[in-house]
Amino acid sequence: MSAFSVRASLAALIAAAALAACGTSPPAHPAAAHHDPGTTPAAPAIPAPAATHVAAAPAATHAAKPKHKKRHKKPAAVAPVTQAPAVTQAPPPVNPMPQGNGGDHDADNNGGPDDGDGGTV
């Protein structure tokens, strides 16, 4: 009985150690997956490079494909958030051309052919 109990306890210890080893490694992988949605301030800065990685990754490594795809696809979804302000901030086109004869009466001030002046309007 005692020998059996010692063996049983050793087996239990080995099993527990094995479970502990298996239990610690999985969180390391999900950390990468959680990294994207969890880091909201850093996410907007990343998307631009992410687009280039998506194009390069498929040709580079086959083994790392799933992980890379997961990492890069999520930031890509954030990208429109960073692009939206850029679109709204686009200034209206400014026409530097003096309108209405801008100082003289050349035809070129009103869309006519350009004259031969060398530096004046």
Partner 1 sequence: MSASEAPDHSAALPDPGHHAAVRRVALGAAAVLAAALVGVAVAGISGRSAGSSNGPAFPAIHPAAAPAGWLSATLPDGAVLWYPPSMRPVTADRGAASAARLGRTGAYLLYLNATPRQGDERAANWPAFRLSHLRDDDARSARELAAAAGVRFRGGTGSCVLDSYVTKVGAHHYTELACLVQGSRASSVVVAAAPTANWPQAASLLERAIAAYRVQ
Residues that bind partner 1 (CB under 8 A): 95-97, 99, 104-121
CB of 120 to partner 1, least distance (A): 6
Whether 60 contacts 52, CB under 8 Å? no
CB of 71 to partner 1, least distance (A): 27
Nearest-angstrom CA–CA distance, 77 and 74: 5
Question: In this complex, which beta carbon is closest to partner 1, that of residue 26 or of residue 113?
Answer: 113
The 3-state DSSP class for residue 79 equals helix
Question: In this complex, which beta carbon is closest to partner 1, that of residue 26 or of residue 100?
Answer: 100
Q: What are phi and psi of 13, to 5 degrees?
A: -65, -45
Question: In this complex, which beta carbon is closest to partner 1, that of residue 41 or of residue 113?
Answer: 113
CB of 91 to partner 1, least distance (A): 17
**Which tokens hold the place of 8?**
């049983």
